[in-house]
Chains A and B, each alone.
Chain A
């Protein structure tokens, strides 16, 4: 039975690299990458063969040509995370898969299609255009999420306050 997500702030048992808002992190071998998302989207890309994984904390769907910081926008974060992963893998070709978490509507007065909805749609569209399959997703709702990526396996742990832990 999965444990309930941290509801009282106990510290994670994992040794993790924390990825902040609009940032990208990549790692090889083992360890994990972690971020928190509300209406933002956490995009995990990994290649199990090369044991490399990356995590982007995407804030907005479209850079509108701005491009910096690359991790902030879906259209710039995805090419950048792929470039970083290829670099980390010694420029070997990667067989990437994706998992997508976030895009919540945190406040009830956010009505209609929200920024979270746009973020998820943009990420999925760009991944589709690049032929990268989305193997799992945990999106929408009204709660924030703590997301941890196991670099070695690509497994995702999603904790939502007051709800059971989800493993993707």
Chain B
């Protein structure tokens, strides 16, 4: 997508973020708000640094999107937010330590699945009209790693063909909690034009 066409589609991505926020709110049973919603073409180093210091640990649930358009849709947050989010879902059934156990990972993966699909359903509507292939997200894949390494891997698909990365970025906040998380969509190079 060029910056121009991305700008044209800002309204679609805004609606997708609203749908994702509504899905998150329904999933958690709490009001949520969208703190940041941007569509941008960023130089590689800026894109890699958009979530903060590179040496901070970041958890990410990534879905590979195939179909009429392809790319990566990734839910990210820091440990504090991620573990608090898991606690809301599991209501004490998960561990209480600072390390991620299987249940906590599963809770975040399911959250990514729910809000990711809500986001994609909105983004896909114009793309699927007249298309025979449906948008297909892969199951979310959980990783916990240095923020810089995670972001490099997310933007790699476009780094192949460009020194700038076109992406959408939405931050969600959950009422009455310190939890914030980001949903990032990076179309693959073939579909970023």
Chain A contacts to B: CB under 8 angstroms: 6-9, 11-12, 18, 20-23, 36-40, 59-60, 69, 72, 104, 106-109, 115, 142-146, 161-162
10 A-B pairs closest in CB distance: A144-B149, A36-B148, A38-B149, A106-B153, A20-B45, A9-B56, A38-B153, A144-B145, A109-B64, A38-B152
CB distance B156 to A37 under 8 Å?
Answer: no
Cα–Cα distance between A9 and B147 once the two chains are bound (Å) = 10
Cα–Cα distance between A110 and B168 once the two chains are bound (Å) = 22
Chain B contacts to A: CB under 8 angstroms: 44-45, 48-49, 53-57, 62, 64, 79, 98, 138, 141, 143-146, 148-150, 152-153, 156, 159-160, 163
**Residue from the set B62, B98, B141, B148 with the largest chain A CB neighbour count within 10 Å:** B148
- Majority secondary structure of chain B interface residues (helix, strand, loop or mixed): mixed
**Residue from the set B53, B98, B156 with the largest chain A CB neighbour count within 10 Å:** B156
With A22-B163, A36-B55, A109-B64 given, name 4 new contacts (CB 8 A).
A22-B45, A38-B153, A143-B149, A144-B150
Chain A neighbourhood of B56, CB < 8 A: 9
CB distance B143 to A106 under 8 Å?
Answer: yes
A-B residue pairs in contact (CB < 8 Å), sample of 7 = A6-B55, A7-B57, A9-B57, A72-B159, A106-B150, A109-B138, A144-B146
Chain A neighbourhood of B160, CB < 8 A: 60, 115
CB distance A36 to B54 under 8 Å?
Answer: yes
Minimum C-beta distance from A143 to chain B (A): 6
Chain B neighbourhood of A109, CB < 8 A: 62, 64, 138, 141
Q: Which of B48, B57, B150 contacts A21 (CB 8 A)?
A: B48
Q: When A9-B55, A11-B55, A59-B159 are in contact, do A36 and B152 touch as well, CB less than 8 Å?
A: yes
Cα–Cα distance between A131 and B143 once the two chains are bound (Å) = 38
Cα–Cα distance between A147 and B149 once the two chains are bound (Å) = 11
Cα–Cα distance between A157 and B40 once the two chains are bound (Å) = 35
With both beta carbons as reference points, the residue of chain B lying nearest to A5 in the complex is identified as: B146
